[in-house]
Amino acid sequence: MGFGCPEVSNKSNQSVIFMYRLTVIPGDGIGPEVMEAALYILEVSEIDFSYETAHAGNECFKRTGSTIPDETISTSKKSDATLFGAVTTVPGQKSGIITLRKELDLYVNLRPVKSYEGTPFLFEGLDFVIVRENTEGLYSGVEKYTDDGAEAVRVVTRGACERICKFAFEYARKNMRKKVTAVHKANVLKKTDGIFKDTFYEVAHEYNDIRSEDFYVDATAMYLITKPQNFDVMVTTNLFGDILSDEGAGLVGGLGLIPSANIGDKNGLFEPVHGSAPDIAGKGIANPSAMILSMCMMLKYLGEVEESQKLEKALTKVLRDGKVVTPDLGGVASTMEMAEQVKTIFEGL
Active-site residue flag, 147: no
Catalytic residue among 62, 78, 198, 218: 218
Amino acid at 287: N
Distance CA(81)–CA(94), nearest Å, equals 23
Name residue 158's beta-bridge partners. Answer: none
Contact between 200 and 160 under an 8 Å Cβ cutoff? The reply is: no
Active-site residue flag, 116: no
> In the 8-state DSSP scheme, what is residue 135?
S
Active-site residue flag, 246: yes
Amino acid at 250: G
> In the 8-state DSSP scheme, what is residue 140?
G
Residue 99, CA distances (Å) to 66, 67, 227 in order: 12, 9, 36
DSSP labels, 118-133: TS--SSTT-EEEEEEE
Contact between 235 and 182 under an 8 Å Cβ cutoff? The reply is: yes
Active-site residue flag, 218: yes
Distance CA(83)–CA(80), nearest Å, equals 10
Distance CA(62)–CA(175), nearest Å, equals 43
Chain centre to alpha carbon of residue 122: 21
Catalytic residue among 242, 301, 310, 343: 242
Active-site residue flag, 242: yes
Crossing angle for the helix pair 70-77 and 96-103, to the nearest 10 degrees? 40
Catalytic residue among 51, 139, 171, 301: 139
Contact between 122 and 251 under an 8 Å Cβ cutoff? The reply is: yes
Residues taking part in catalysis: 139, 185, 218, 242, 246
